[in-house]
């Protein structure tokens, strides 16, 4: 990974994290969080860890989508109304996000030499299932118990 | 230009600091606390991945995967608890929870 790329993405992560905390509007805070996650995924892609980058991106996208849906349902559009200067912020957000996405998609074609070790899926899979098989089982059990608990919480009891 | 270890540690420390600051700043808003917690997880994820690349060891990326998995579980589980609380009390304000 080139150092300039790392510094650009690190700056983006820090700026997005700072703005995510300081902004008053929860919708913008979520958008800045998306920027931070995409920038971290860009760093991971630069480190030849494309599978982990994709996993982090998809996991965060799913969780942030659930978060947004929850915010929209709970607050019912009252607290998520657009503040002033919303259009400029939205344009900046989407331009920056599209630039990062273009980098993520085309980065493997630009680099000619490997600056980092090979973190491909077979390498990670070997380590994951050979050395950390027990950890995978524990996490699978954790996720399964969470799903069962969430389902049990959300199912409403029928009155007899 | 090289990527030094202090730079990596500084960036991840700032991310964790921003997350803690967010938790302290938005104490009365549960949703914002959840967002700030995700920032802390992002800092640890960044640290694991960069350490993995620096020391030519893929173990850090495995922990990165575990960490991102844990973040997703944490967010979904807390949102479920918030939803259950919201159904019962029709608010999510910490100040009103205290009574």
**Rounded CA separation A88/A85 (Å):** 6
Best of B8, B80, B92 to disrupt the A interface by mutation (most A CBs within 10 Å)?
A: B80
ipTM for this model:
0.86
Q: How large is the average pLDDT for residues B64-79?
A: 85
Find the Cα–Cα–Cα–Cα dihedral A72, A73, A78, A79, rounded to 10°: -50
Q: How large is the average pLDDT for residues B40-69?
A: 85
Q: In which band, very low, low, confident or very high, does the pLDDT at A85 lie, cut at 50, 70 and 90?
A: low
Query: Taking all residues of chain B, what is their mean pLDDT, rounded to a whole number?
Result: 84
What count of other Cβ atoms lies within 10 Å of the Cβ of residue A26? 19
C-beta separation of A48 from A4 below 8 A: no
C-beta separation of B21 from B14 below 8 A: no
Q: How large is the average pLDDT for residues B11-28?
A: 90
**Rounded CA separation B47/B39 (Å):** 12
**Rounded CA separation A5/A43 (Å):** 8
Nearest CA-CA distance, residue B68 and chain A, Å? 6
Q: B29 — alpha (psi -120 to 50), left (phi > 0) or beta?
A: beta
Residue percentage of chain B with pLDDT more than 90: 13
Q: Give the tens place of pLDDT for each residue, A5-52.
A: 888 888 888 988 998 898 887 878 888 888 888 888 888 887 777 788
Interface of B with A in 34-63 (CB under 8 A): 34-36, 38-39, 42, 45-46, 49-50, 52-53, 56, 58-59, 61-62
- pLDDT score at B99: 62
Q: How large is the average pLDDT for residues A133-159?
A: 82
Nearest CA-CA partner of A52 in B85, B75, B59, B65: B65
Q: Give the tens place of pLDDT for each residue, B25-38.
A: 988 888 888 889 98
- pLDDT score at B20: 93
A83 vs B39, more confident: B39
Measured between CA atoms, the residue of chain B closest to residue A63 is: B72
Q: How large is the average pLDDT for residues A156-160?
A: 58
Most confident of A75-79, A94-98, B13-17: B13-17
- Model pTM score: 0.80
- pLDDT score at B14: 92
Q: How large is the average pLDDT for residues A127-156?
A: 84
Can you list the alpha helix ranges (DSSP code H) found in B4-29? 5-25
Measured between CA atoms, the residue of chain A closest to residue B23 is: A21
Measured between CA atoms, the residue of chain B closest to residue A133 is: B62
Q: How large is the average pLDDT for residues A92-100?
A: 75
Q: How does DSSP assign chain A, residue by residue?
A: --HHHHHHHHHHHHHHHHHHHH-S-HHHHHHHHHHHHHHHHHHHHHTT-HHHHHHHHHHHHHHHHHHHHHHHHHHTTTTTPPPTTHHHHHHHHHHHHHHHHHHHHHHHHH--S-SS----HHHHHHHHHHTSHHHHHHHHHHHHHHHHHHHHHHSPPPP-
Q: In which band, very low, low, confident or very high, does the pLDDT at A75 lie, cut at 50, 70 and 90?
A: low
Q: Which of these ranges, A24-38, A69-83, A138-152, has the smallest mean pLDDT?
A: A69-83
What count of other Cβ atoms lies within 10 Å of the Cβ of residue B80? 19
Interface of A with B in 61-100 (CB under 8 A): 62-63, 66-67, 70-71, 74
């Amino acid at each position: 990974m080139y150092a300039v790329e790392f510094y650009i993405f690190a700056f983006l992560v820090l700026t997005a994290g700072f703005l995510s905390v300081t902004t008053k509007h929860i919708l913008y805070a979520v958008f800045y969080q998306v920027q931070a996650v995409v920038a971290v995924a860009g760093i991971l892609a630069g480190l030849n860890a494309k599978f982990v980058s994709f996993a982090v991106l998809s996991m965060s996208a799913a969780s942030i989508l659930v978060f947004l849906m929850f915010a929209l349902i709970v607050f019912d559009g009252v607290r998520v109304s657009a503040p002033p200067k919303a259009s400029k912020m939205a344009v900046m957000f989407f331009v920056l996000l599209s630039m990062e996405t273009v980098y993520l998609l085309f980065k493997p074609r630009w680099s000619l030499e490997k600056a980092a070790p090979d973190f491909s899926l077979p390498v990670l899979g070997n380590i994951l299932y050979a050395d950390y098989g027990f950890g995978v089982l524990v996490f699978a059990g954790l996720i399964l118990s969470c799903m069962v608990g969430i389902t049990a919480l959300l199912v409403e009891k029928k009155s007899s | 230009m090289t990527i030094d270890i202090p730079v990596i540690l500084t960036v991840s420390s700032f991310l964790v600091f921003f997350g803690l600051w967010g938790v302290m700043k938005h104490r009365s808003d549960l949703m914002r606390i959840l967002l700030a917690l995700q920032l802390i997880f992002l800092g640890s994820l960044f640290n694991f991945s960069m350490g993995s690349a620096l020391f030519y060891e893929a173990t850090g990326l495995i922990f990165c995967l575990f960490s991102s998995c844990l973040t997703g579980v944490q967010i979904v589980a807390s949102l479920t608890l918030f939803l259950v609380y919201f159904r019962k009390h029709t608010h999510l304000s910490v100040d009103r929870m205290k009574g």
